[in-house]
Structures are given as C-alpha cells and as structure tokens.
Amino acid sequence: MSQRTPLLIGIAGGTGSGKTSVTSAIAAEFGRDSLLVVQHDSYYRDIGEHGGVAASQINFDHPRALETPLLIEHLSRLKAGEIVDQPVYDFSTHTREARTVRLEPRDVVIVDGSLVLAERELR
C-alpha cells in the first residue's frame, strides 16, 4: 500500500441487487494487490446477542442486526494503515465463528452491504 490514505467506497443496495457482482467486477479490474473488499455481512451480530430470540424472529435487514460500530472501527484502523481481524459470520447457525480473517490496508477499500450507507458514520 502507498503512504496515502486509502479511498473508501461504499456499495449499497437491496438483497439480490447486484452489489457483490459489481464489487467483484471492480476487484477483478483493479486486482487484489491494490484493492480490499470488506463485506458488511461479516459484521452480523451473533444470535446470542439478541436476548434468546429465535432466528426466525430477528429482522436481519435492520441496522441493529449488524455490529456496525466494529466495522467503523476496523475501517478507521485500515485508513490509519493498521491490520484488522474481521469476524467470520456463519449464516447457517447465525453465529460468529471463533476464527477471523486478517485484513491488510490497501489503496482502495470497498465496503459492500445492504445497510452500509444507513449509518451516518459510514457515508
């Protein structure tokens, strides 16, 4: 990564709207050496944080279903040139795995997610 502050790009839209397809096309054009993709979906809250509510009763399209403050912290750290450990969310169990994915800063960071622009701090 160069010494300048990374460019952050948010790609938002409804489920099935093509966010990931657009993000993948951009990533393929620029290459993974200069571009990092961060999925907002990785920041879903563990079902245990919903107070014992069954998964069928949780609105996963609501901003409170995501731990956006952690995403904001991670993006700030990436902008500062730091490495972060992104959570891994298991959609089949609605839980976070114990493992994480290490994200290293790049010149361009794309944040992909249906609610990624719902929070003022991410706009």
pLDDT recorded at residue 112: 96
Residues 6+ apart with CB under 8 A from 39: 112, 113
Q: How confident is the model at residue 86 (pLDDT cuts 50, 70, 90)?
A: very high
DSSP state of 75: H
Q: Has residue 1 got a pLDDT over 60?
A: no
Q: Is the pLDDT of residue 3 over 80?
A: no
CB 110 within 8 A of CB 27: yes
**Domains delineated in the chain:** 7-116 (3.40.50.300)
Residue 110: which pLDDT band, with cuts at 50, 70 and 90? very high
Residues 68-85, mean pLDDT to the nearest whole number: 97
Q: How do 84-90 and 95-103 pair as beta strands?
A: antiparallel
Average pLDDT of the chain?
Answer: 92
Does the pLDDT of residue 4 top 80, yes or no?
Answer: no
pLDDT (0 to 100) of residue 65: 92
Q: What is the pLDDT of residues 10-35, one digit of tens each?
A: 999 988 899 999 999 999 998 888 99
